[in-house]
Copies of this chain bind each other. A is one copy, B any other.
Amino acid sequence: MAVVVMKFGGTSVANIERIANVARHVKREVAAGNKVAVVVSAMAGTTNQLVDWVNEVSPRYDAREYDAIVASGEQITAGLLALTLQTAGLKARSWQGWQIPVETDKAHGAARIAKIDGGRLRERIDQGEVAVVTGFQGIEPEDARIATLGRGGSDTSAVAVAVAIGADVCDIYTDVDGVYTTDPRIVPEARRIPRISYEEMLEMASLGSKVLQTRSVELAMVYGMRLRVLSSFADPESLPAVEVGKLEHIGTTVCSEEDIVETQVVSGIAYAKDEAKVTILKLDDKPGVAARIFGPLAQSAINVDMIVQNITPDGAHTDLTFTVQAAELPRALEVIESIKKDLGNFEVRSSKGVVKVSIIGIGMRSHAGVAAQMFKTLSDKGINILAISTSEIKVSVLIDADYAELAVRALHETYGLDAQADPV
């Protein structure tokens, strides 16, 4: 007997037929004697309709009202799934964030979960009732108002619920059957990764792999909650039910490093397309000049990622290159324009045609020369590196967008990630 949290996203519950399919996944677990909580998103399309209405009324909306409106999407799915499970002969009830309660902070529209009281939920699950929980939302306790976690927050809800009820595993059902070494649309040889560490998954998630939401992985790591990525499109009866200690033969399991026996030097290659590059030329090379640029950007809540600084040949000036999210480029350029009068007559150039490609692997910690091998691979293909950033378990390079696919393919081969060819 295992306690299982199953999370289904918007495409997995897009209509009544898909919801019936979800019910079959749940029924498989209950039939195996498992205790189940299901976390659901809004039916695909519903949230967009609600957001459109909000924007039609008021593009500069009150986030608390936005939350009250869009939270209805999950409320509907949860009720419909509970009814579907009942029709299939299971005991089930829906739980909205405020009913559990899932307490959040006050950052409406992008709230963080502060606390979940899993007591009542666990009690009902122990009685054999499937709990169908609205993802993406909770309640801000002071004013008792609904708060949403922001897009993709349902993954985080699922992990938080799993922690609160002491689940054995949190299974995230998506439209793919696991986490891949890289995007299979670019590299057909990409392989599903059976096991990946939280740290690697965090880097993969934040570097462009959209399978899991970053915060959900952080939360799972902090509480040591075992996560799995599975396909909701698989035939529900073909998947094995959860059995504690036997989780590894399907999907991708995200777990702690110690539980991974054979570590790869590089586990995966991620790429992020929505980057923009800003270069500031002929800055006076004075102390504090970087702070006077990045300070105002931070105050405007613009996330700066990679930074490269060079001294110009004359030694009097410096060139500064950094990247921001492409969507934030116009705002970033506005901020820079506003500080021009303080910092003298520099030149600004920007471009959206750049891509960040990253190699990720916990094995890097104990292997030297991994980054050098990356640079050589790119150089061999004639790809120019515009900027570099590194962490303990990843190396990222910024390159011209035209070379993105070539780079990913070459690196995938270099680090031995290609699926082995069938023996002839």
Contact = CB atoms under 8 A, between A and B. Distances in A.
A57 interface: yes
A193 B281 CA distance: 80
Given A94-B65, A98-B98, A58 B84 contact: yes
Q: How many copies does the complex hold?
A: 2
A347 B320 CA distance: 99
A328 to B, nearest CB: 26
B53 A16 contact: yes
Contacts of A64: 93
Contacts of A393: none
A16 B83 contact: no
A86 B59 CA distance: 12
Contact of A87 (B58, B93, B146): B58
Contact of A54 (B50, B62, B83, B99): B83
A80 B64 CA distance: 11
B68 A96 contact: yes
Contacts of A57: 16, 19, 80, 83-84, 87
A56 interface: yes
Contacts of A247: none
Nearest to A53: B80
Contacts of A16: 53, 56-57
A102 interface: no
A111 interface: no
Interface stretch (A69-77, A150-158, A253-261, A334-342): A69-77
A79 interface: yes
Nearest to A67: B79
B50 A62 contact: no
A56 B65 CA distance: 30
A66 interface: yes
B76 A53 contact: yes
Given A54-B80, A98-B98, 18 more contacts: A16-B53, A16-B56, A57-B80, A57-B83, A57-B87, A58-B87, A62-B82, A62-B83, A65-B83, A65-B93, A65-B94, A68-B78, A68-B79, A68-B82, A68-B94, A72-B72, A72-B76, A99-B144
- Give 3 closest A-B pairs by Cβ, nearest first: A72-B72, A69-B79, A68-B79
18 contacts: A57-B84, A58-B84, A58-B86, A62-B86, A65-B80, A68-B82, A68-B94, A68-B96, A69-B75, A69-B76, A69-B79, A69-B80, A72-B75, A72-B76, A75-B75, A96-B146, A98-B98, A99-B144
Interface of A: 16, 19, 50, 53-54, 56-58, 61-62, 64-66, 68-69, 71-72, 75-76, 78-80, 82-84, 86-87, 93-94, 96, 98-99, 144-146
